[in-house]
């Protein structure tokens, strides 16, 4: 995650407080802090040691360009943190933010009772400890022998749809001999065989990588080809802010008759542009959802778009906003009539965290899949069935480290 995005989410999501309702973070936590038997169990454990490491995740194929960025590579080396208690419990997760941010405050955690850092009904208690937010959730689950979704109050998880988020501009690779649309169809077939029944297609080739008209035509051809080849699947499209509102409407005119599950970040969000798009899809009778909030999210403005019926799905990154803040945001979205699908691109770990957030709180319309393998993490607990992602019932996030830290 880009540091700018992390800091933006930090300042807006935590320092401003309750995201949408204007309460202070501390007041919110105090008002909800009703200690339970589970919290008392957490009090028996103190943080004894904190270790940092990385885990390598491997994509099944080279992931190419999107409308704004060049090749996305073969998989990330994710920074992680392990929290160990004096009773021998270990929780781990990817860092929220950078290792430097975590190192600046790690001394405040060592020696503390887990219950002084984390409450089951709330999550991480102090905003300055948010680099450890995911790991504290995992640790609490391990101590209490519960999956994270059960910590959120749901013994049997809500199960939701699962889309492949890995279909980029691979028709343009390699540059010396582009593979063409057949490559996209091959990738969709691979993902279909894994169990996906939703494909998110990156579009916006004419923003940077092709002449505009040629790129627009390729976007249209790819969308139609996938729809024709996979009639039992749903199509999502993501423009990565690579269009103007008029250009995106031209794209929609070019795919008349193709049903889109959602439209994601077609252009940089403004009220005027989203109003133009909403008016067009209503006038044309197009049934689709508008999804935004991934890139440099402004939470208050996203709320304004939702209130004006210009945004249906909130996409801020699961780590960028943080698990605790997402726990707070979800009921706010429900009250506003909006749904969630936290951005998870880059790391399958983020996908799996989202499965627990969705499993515990619901209101998540679909989950972003980032297919990966690893020799350093056991990812086998998560299964795909009928196009849906099912999280494991094992403690914490249910992912064991296979490497010694």
Give the CATH number of the domain where residue 278 resides: 3.20.20.120
Residue 153 lies in a domain: no
**226 and 342 housed in the same domain:** yes
Residue that is last in its domain, among 146, 169, 196: 146
Confidence at residue 293, expressed as pLDDT on a 0 to 100 scale: 95
| 305 domain residue, yes or no | yes
* Residue 87 sits in the same domain as residue 183: no
Q: What angle do CA 153, 334, 232 make, to 5 degrees?
A: 90
HEC secondary structure over the chain: CCHHHHHHHHHHHHHCCCCCCCCCHHHHHHHHCCCCHHHHHHCCCEEEEEEEEEEECECCCCECCCCCCCCCECCCEEEEEEEEECCCCEEEEECCCCHHHHHHHHHHCCCCEHHHHEECCCEECCHHHHHHHHHHHHHHHHHHCCEHHHHCCCCCCCCEEEEEEEECCHHHCCCCCCCCHHHHHHHHHHHHHHCCCEEEEECCHHHCCCCHHHHHHHHHHHHHHHHHHCCCCEEEEECCCCCCHHHHHHHHHHCCCCCEEEEECCCCCCHHHHHHHHHHHHHCCCCCEEEECCCCCCHHHHHHHHHCCCCCEECCCHHHHCHHHHHHHHHHHHHHCCEECCCCCCCHHHHHHHHHHHHHHCCECEEEECCCECCCEECCCCEEECCEEECCCCCECCCEECCCC
Boundaries of domain holding 331? 160-401
Tokens of 223: 């969308």
Tokens representing 157?
């998880």
Supply φ then ψ for residue 181, to 5 degrees: -65, -30
Distances (CA, A) of 309 to 248, 290, 302, 329, 336: 19, 10, 11, 18, 10
Q: What is the CATH number of the domain that holds 96?
A: 3.30.390.10
| Other beta carbons within 10 Å of 213 | 10
- Cα(9)–Cα(328) distance, integer angstroms: 14
Q: Please, which residues bridge with residue 73 across strands?
A: 63
Indicate the residue among 146, 176, 196 that finishes a domain.
146
Taking the CB of residue 244, how many other CB atoms lie within 10 A of it?
14
- Judgement on whether residues 229 and 285 belong to the same structural domain of the protein: yes
41 and 182 fall within a common domain: no
- Is residue 152 domain-resident? no
350 C-beta neighbours (distance < 10 Å), count: 25
250 contacts: CB under 8 Å, gap ≥ 6? 216
Q: Point out the domain boundary residue: 121, 146, 171.
A: 146
CA distances from 316 to 15, 295, 351 (A): 17, 8, 13
Together in a domain, 245 and 105: no
Residue 38 lies inside a defined structural domain of this protein: yes
Distance CA 207, CA 213 (A): 10
Is there a single domain that holds both residue 21 and residue 167? no
Can you say whether residue 123 is alpha, beta or left, with left for phi > 0 and alpha for psi between -120 and 50 degrees? left
- Give the pLDDT confidence score for residue 9 in this predicted structure: 41
- The pLDDT score that the predictor gives to residue 35 is 72
183 alpha carbon, distance to own chain's centre: 26
State residue 296's pLDDT score.
80
Number of domains forming the structure of the chain: 2
Peptide bond preceding 195 in cis form (omega within 30 of 0): no
Pair 133, 218 in one domain: no
Residues 300, 187: one domain? yes
Look at residue 151 and tell me if it is in a domain. Answer: no
User: What pLDDT tens digit does each residue of the chain (405 aa) get?
Assistant: 443 433 344 343 433 334 444 343 444 444 445 678 899 999 999 999 999 999 999 999 999 999 999 999 999 999 999 999 999 999 999 999 889 999 999 999 999 999 999 999 999 999 999 999 999 999 999 999 999 999 999 999 999 999 999 999 999 999 999 999 999 999 999 999 999 999 999 999 999 999 999 999 999 999 999 999 999 999 999 999 999 999 999 999 999 999 999 999 999 999 999 999 999 999 999 999 999 999 788 999 999 999 999 999 999 999 999 999 999 999 999 999 999 999 999 999 999 999 999 999 999 999 999 999 999 999 999 999 999 999 999 999 999 999 999
- The answer to whether 64 touches 175, Cβ cutoff 8 Å, is no
The answer to whether residues 107 and 197 belong to one domain is no
- Does residue 356 lie within any of the structural domains? yes
CA 35 to chain centre: 30
Asked whether residue 33 is domain-assigned, the answer is: yes
Q: How far apart are CA 89 and CA 49, in angstroms?
A: 11
Question: In whole angstroms, what is the distance from residue 306 CA to residue 188 CA?
Answer: 32
State whether 134 and 255 are in the same domain: no
Let me know: does 369 contact 389? Beta carbons within 8 Å.
yes
> Is 212 found in the same domain as 139?
no
**Residue 362 near residue 103, CB atoms below 8 Å:** no
In-domain check, residue 154: no
Q: What angle do CA 20, 22, 25 make, to 5 degrees?
A: 100
Give the whole-angstrom CA distance, residue 100 versus residue 403: 23
Q: Are residues 53 and 184 in the same domain?
A: no
């Amino acid at each position: 995650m880009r540091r700018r995005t992390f800091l933006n989410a930090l300042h807006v999501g935590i320092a401003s407080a309750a995201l949408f309702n204007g309460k202070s973070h501390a007041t919110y936590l105090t008002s909800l802090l009703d200690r339970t038997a589970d919290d008392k169990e957490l009090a028996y454990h103190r943080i004894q040691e904190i270790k940092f490491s990385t885990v390598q995740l491997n994509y099944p194929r080279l992931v190419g360009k999107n409308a704004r960025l060049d090749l996305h590579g073969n998989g990330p080396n994710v920074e992680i943190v392990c929290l160990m208690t004096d009773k021998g419990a270990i929780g781990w997760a990817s860092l929220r933010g950078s290792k430097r941010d975590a190192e600046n405050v790690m001394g405040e955690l060592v020696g503390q009772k887990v219950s002084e850092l984390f409450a089951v009904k709330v999550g991480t208690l102090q905003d300055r400890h948010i680099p450890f937010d995911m790991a504290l959730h995992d640790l609490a689950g391990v101590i209490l022998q519960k999956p994270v979704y059960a910590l959120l109050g749901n013994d049997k998880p809500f199960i939701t749809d699962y889309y492949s988020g890995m279909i980029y501009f691979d028709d343009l690779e390699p540059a010396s001999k582009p593979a063409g649309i057949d490559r996209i169809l091959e990738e969709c077939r691979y993902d279909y065989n894994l169990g996906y029944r939703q494909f998110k297609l990156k579009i916006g080739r004419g923003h940077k990588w092709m002449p505009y008209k040629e790129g627009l035509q390729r976007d249209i051809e790819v969308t139609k080809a996938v729809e024709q080849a996979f009639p039992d699947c749903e199509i999502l499209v993501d423009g990565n802010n690579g269009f103007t509102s008029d250009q995106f409407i031209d794209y929609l005119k070019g795919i008349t008759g193709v049903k889109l599950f959602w439209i994601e970040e077609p252009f940089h969000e403004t009220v005027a542009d989203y109003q133009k798009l909403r008016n067009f899809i209503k006038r044309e009778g197009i049934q689709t959802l508008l999804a935004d909030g991934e890139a440099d999210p402004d939470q208050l403005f996203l709320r304004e778009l939702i209130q004006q019926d210009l945004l249906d799905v909130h996409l801020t990154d699961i780590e960028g906003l943080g698990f605790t803040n997402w726990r707070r945001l979800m009921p706010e979205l429900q009250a506003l009539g909006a749904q969630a699908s936290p951005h998870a691109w880059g790391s399958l770990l983020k996908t799996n965290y989202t499965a627990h957030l969705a499993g515990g709180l619901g209101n998540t319309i679909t989950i972003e899949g980032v297919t990966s393998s690893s020799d350093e993490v056991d990812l086998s607990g998560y299964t795909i069935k009928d196009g849906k992602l099912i999280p494991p019932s094992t403690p914490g996030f249910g992912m064991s480290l296979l490497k010694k830290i």
